[in-house]
Structure 1
Amino acid sequence: MALTPDDIRRLAHLARLELSDDQGERLLTRLNGFFDLVETMRAVDTAGVEPLPHPIAAVRDMALRLRDDVASEPDQRAANQRSAPAVEDGLFLVPRVIE
């Protein structure tokens, strides 16, 4: 997928960016280079390759230092919700902002 100068102008317009022609050309080159890299990576056959738990695992055996998933802070929901203007079933109620 290669971008065109028109694509860059449209993207700049959507992002509310004002790019000179030189900046647009540099951006076009960099983005197309990125897409080329993605296409190269997608072309690699990774069938049967096990995912690594950590990038270093490809070089040497490594035990991950994982901590137990336990709550480290007391539950203070009720205390935090006492000052809220509206609460229902443990949830903060807020005014609707989108119709």
Structure 2
Amino acid sequence: MSLTSADITRIASLARLELSPAEGERMRERINGFFAIVEQMRAVDTTGIEPLSHPTMAAAYQAAGRQAETAQAALRLREDRASEANQREANQRSAPAVERGLFLVPKVIE
């Protein structure tokens, strides 16, 4: 699949974007490049390959030397702890309105 200049003009119009001819051509080339990558990926035979529920599961399966059905995903996440001091008051000094540590904003939905 590839887009024409007319397609790009129509899409830009629908998105309410004003593109110069040079910008439109550049966007057409980039989008068509993306489509080419998608077509390359679609050409790969994935018959019999189970999808992963998390990208790190592949590494966990390989490290455990087990099949995908039995291995558990080992996430290598850092410890969840505060690394900086609480600076709420300093950050809220410039706010027009603050109440009990929260920024107050005008109501926008009636």
The alignment-based identity, stated in percent, is: 61
* Greater relative contact order, per chain length (Cα 8 Å cut-off, separation 6+): 1
Work out the CA distance in 1 between the residues paired with 2:40 and 2:49: 17
Deviation per residue, 1:45-92 (Å, 9 max, x gap): 11100111211111224247xxxxxxxxxxxxxxxxxxxxxxxxxxxx
SS at the partner of 2:60?
A: coil
Structure 2 unaligned regions, length at least 5:
62-72, 76-110
The number of aligned residues is 64
Work out the CA distance in 2 between the residues paired with 1:16 and 1:42: 31
Work out the CA distance in 2 between the residues paired with 1:51 and 1:36: 23
The residue aligned with 1:26 is: 26
Work out the CA distance in 1 between the residues paired with 2:12 and 2:18: 7
Q: TM-score, normalised by structure 1?
A: 0.59
Superposed structure 1 runs of 4+ greater than 3 Å apart: none
The residue aligned with 1:2 is: 2
The residue aligned with 1:44 is: 44
Work out the CA distance in 2 between the residues paired with 1:12 and 1:53: 35
1:16 aligns with 2:31: no
Q: CA RMSD in A?
A: 1.5
What amino acid sits opposite 2:13 in the alignment?
H
Q: TM-score, normalised by structure 2?
A: 0.53
How do 1:51-70 and structure 2 match up within 5 A?
A: 51-61=51-61, 62-63=73-74
The residue aligned with 1:35 is: 35
